[in-house]
Structure 1
Amino acid sequence: MLKVTVFEQLKRAMKEKDTLSKGVLTLLKSSLDLTEKEKGSALTEEEEVAIVNREIKQTNQALEGAEKAQRDDLIEQEKAKLVLLKSFLPKQLSEEEVVALLTEAGVVKGMNMGDAMKIAKPLLAGKTDGSTMSKVVKSLI
């Protein structure tokens, strides 16, 4: 379970006095705990991956802001956060693998974007990021 892994790494980061990892892992653990408490039961693997993806998206936005502001110190920090967060995701599919899966699932040229995404989202949840998924779907339809 992802929550246990995050907690173990958090304990290690605290012992090693790794403030960056400690901060990221604390944030991730809090998100997992809060969502689990709101749901009232244990989270599924898909729900845990969705939470990690949400944190990655927020970190990407912070990275973009740091790049616009030309803050090199923040850029390095956000990149390090991304590496740590991405380590909790399952292996990500390449664009070629995504194309093959979507073609096999029935996404064809001339299809409505909404219909294609209804097929793609459940199929690729946690296996690729949203921008790659959208880009491949657009190229197929």
Structure 2
Amino acid sequence: MLKTTVFEQLKKAMREKDTLSKGVLTLLKSALDLAEKEKGAALSTEEETAIVNREIKQTNQALEGAQKAQRDDLIKQEEAKLVLLKSFLPKQLSEDEIIALLTEAGVTKGMNMGEAMKIAKPLLAGKTDGGTMSKVVKSLI
């Protein structure tokens, strides 16, 4: 379960006085706890992965803002956060692997984007980010 892994790493970061990791892990643990409380039951692996992906997306947005402002200190901090958050995701598929999976699942040329994404989303949930998924689907249809 992801929540216990996050909690163990949080304790380790606190012992080592690693403030960056402690902050990221605290946010992630809070998001997981809140989602679990709202659901009223333990989260599935897909739901946990979705929460990690949401945190990664927010960190990417913060990174873009730091890059536009040319703040090197913030850029390094956000990149370190991304590395830590991505360590909680399952192995991400390459574009070639995604193409092979989607072709096998029946995504073909001439299909509309909505139909193709209905096939792709459940198939690739947690295995790739939405931007890559969308780009590969567009290239196939």
Q: Which TM-score band applies after superposition, normalised by the shorter structure?
A: over 0.9
Shift of 1:56: 0.1
Which residue of structure 2 aligns with residue 22 of structure 1? Answer: 22
Q: What is the distance in 2 between the residues matched to 1:69 and 1:54?
A: 23
- Structure 2 residue 112 is matched with structure 1 residue 112: yes
Q: What is the distance in 2 between the residues matched to 1:133 and 1:28?
A: 24
Please list every run of at least 4 consecutive aligned residues from structure 1 whose deviation after the TM superposition is greater than 6 angstroms: none
Shift of 1:133: 0.3
Which residue of structure 2 aligns with residue 96 of structure 1? Answer: 96
Q: What is the distance in 2 between the residues matched to 1:64 and 1:93?
A: 24
Q: Deviations over 1:4-47 (max 9, x none)?
A: 00000000000000000000000000000000000000000000
Q: Deviations over 1:57-105 (max 9, x none)?
A: 0000000000000000000000000000000000000000000000000
Which residue of structure 2 aligns with residue 7 of structure 1? Answer: 7
Alignment of 1:77-92 (within 5 A): 77-92=77-92
Which residue of structure 1 aligns with residue 128 of structure 2? Answer: 128
Q: Secondary structure at the match of 2:97?
A: helix
Which residue of structure 2 aligns with residue 138 of structure 1? Answer: 138
State the percentage of identical aligned residues: 87
Q: What is the distance in 2 between the residues matched to 1:49 and 1:77?
A: 22
Q: What is the distance in 1 between the residues matched to 2:39 and 2:58?
A: 22
Count of residue pairs the alignment pairs up? 141
Normalised to the residue count of structure 2, the TM-score between the two structures is 1.00
